[in-house]
Amino acid sequence: MTSWFDHAINGLIIGNIYALLAVGLALIFGVSRLINFAHGSVYVVGAYVGWVAVSVLHTPFPVTLILVVAFTAGLGILIERFGIRPLADAPRIAPLLATIGLSFVLDQSVQILFSPDPRSVPMQLPNWRIAIGGGSVGVLDLLIGGIGITAAAALFAFLKLTKWGWAVRATALDRDAARAMGVDVDNVNRIVFAIASALGGVGGVLVGMYYNVITPTMGFEATLKGIVAEVVGGVGNVPGAIVGSLLLGVIESYGVALLGTSYRNLFAFILLIVILVLRPNGLFASRRQLPPEPMTGTFVAPSRPVRLPVPLLAAATAFFIALPVRIDSGYLIQTLTNAWLYALLGLSITLVAGTSGQVSLGHAALLAIGGYTSALLASNLGWPVWLTLLLGGFAAAGLGTLLVSPAFRLRGHYVSIATLGIGEIVALVILNWESVTRGPIGVAGIPPLSLFGYELYDTNAIYWFAFALMAALALLQVRLLGSHLGRTLRAVRDDDVAARSFGIGLNRYKGLAFAFGGFFAGISGAFTAHMYSFINHETFNTQISVLALTIAILGGMGNVGGAILGALALIGLPEVFRVAAEYRILLYGIALLLLVRFRPQGLLGTV
């Protein structure tokens, strides 16, 4: 039986690895005011560089570390130069979205080069342990602890005793003042990205050795853990990031000992939400620290939206209605059905992010709530599917708004982080609440779609049903945006301080935006569950949330027609032209990067 001492040691060791990630994130935020979602991808690259060095080149451990540090530091410099610096004068949400696109590109590139299969990392250290009391400490435990302490000491010396360290601290305090005093802030950014990426790469190697396995998909979870640790300690606070990482590691270790491994991530995200609600500046931030600046409205690029002529819209509608009759291709019709469902999700996110300015990265949770509500009501209680579809939409609207409501008081990057955390909590609750959701096995045998008592098995009938739902809800959203409510939501987006001064209740209108958006997403999730007759906790993952945001950006934030066009472009075209599935996420990442850089207003312009 594992002792509590062993759990404490395990928590501290994992906390050391989290610290390598969180310190890098804190450094980058300090000088760039940016949450770097590509940081976990650099961690994955470092892990695979280490695997190549050990398994292919057979290098000793010190040489392996040097190769990893050099490669990942160079990668960090490239990310800063070509991914972040061109967006220096862009709205502050643009670099954040660019890092999400970069993470997609890096993760998928690793998967293409090395395959999705896990890789075993050979141990290069002696396998002996020192008995201490009722537990023991291994050589690898001591090595990870030593590297963590050494990295912290070296970083402290760099920041306190070197000229470039002083420049980093000056830039973190006031970027414009540092530039005015002759500091080369571009070079500071380059140095910080190199240091942060090298720390992340070392963390990837160490975690591969500790668990004896690496995968191309482990970067996203690592990014989330680093962000949680950073937020707990205080965003941009390096000592706070270290303490937050150790605290997170110990909480996770003891939580797993009490409840099991499936609850590991749940503790992290609950801790994140508690900190964001009670002390959003972190445990170690000064109480006098200014609140973060809002990002609402700062991504919606000023542009004149493209007004599509009514005859063109009518012709397009007639074309898509008649398409199943004219073309005998079940694959094409199924692909377009998926596009209409993603268009519903795009309508949801473009209302929440584009019209009200709340950039949500956890929108897949609304799909899951709607899907599970409808599936369980139809399967367990035998209710008619048309009714459960509506109830799925209302459940996503009500429960989703309730879950997100603590984030209404947040500003800046914290809104995106909070919605991301809430989305992960919903997925983990679904995984662990086996008595209701059936846990990891999911819900199978979900009744098929039906309308007025007639079950819809035919691909064409399902296509028309999805198209009709999408068209009806799109018209409803057009009506909403032209109303007083739509104008008020845009006022909140453009300047929430001015909106509040005119007596607008910000939380109330943010809640209304999430409620309408949640209803649309819930309907889409419920429809998907009945169409495929199966759903589990992985059906709607965070990649879908990012894809939904990409759809909205591609079409034009706040633009109803743009959301539909974006869904057709990102969902329909890759399927129609049979782009290999392994390249699809890579294409999404590249599309997001290009949009943020060259066409932030979208194809049809922002509204």
Listing DSSP states for 150-213 in one string gives HHHHHHHHHHHHSHHHHHHHHHHH-HHHHHHTT--HHHHHHHHHHHHHHHHHHHHHHHHHHHT-
CB burial class (10 A; 0-12, 13-18, 19+) of residue 280?
buried
Based on its alpha-carbon atoms, the radius of gyration of the chain, rounded to whole angstroms, reads: 25
**Taking the model in full, what pTM does it have?**
0.86
Q: What is the pLDDT of residue 1?
A: 42
Q: What is the pLDDT of residue 456?
A: 83
Q: Specify the CATH architecture of the domain 4-278.
A: Orthogonal Bundle (1.10)
Q: What is the pLDDT of residue 465?
A: 93
Longest dimension (CA), the chain: 81
CB burial class (10 A; 0-12, 13-18, 19+) of residue 390?
middle
Query: How many helices and strands, by DSSP H and E, does the chain display?
Result: 25, 6
All CATH 1.10.3470 domain ranges of the chain, comma separated, are: 4-278, 333-598
Q: Which residues pair with 130 in a beta bridge?
A: 137
Residues of the chain with pLDDT under 70: 1-3, 133-136, 285-303, 412, 573-582
Residues 23 and 235: their CA atoms lie apart, in Å, by 10
At 301 the three-state DSSP class reads coil
Q: What is the pLDDT of residue 360?
A: 87
CATH, domain 333-598, list 1.10.3470, 2.30.30, 1.10.10, 1.10.287:
1.10.3470
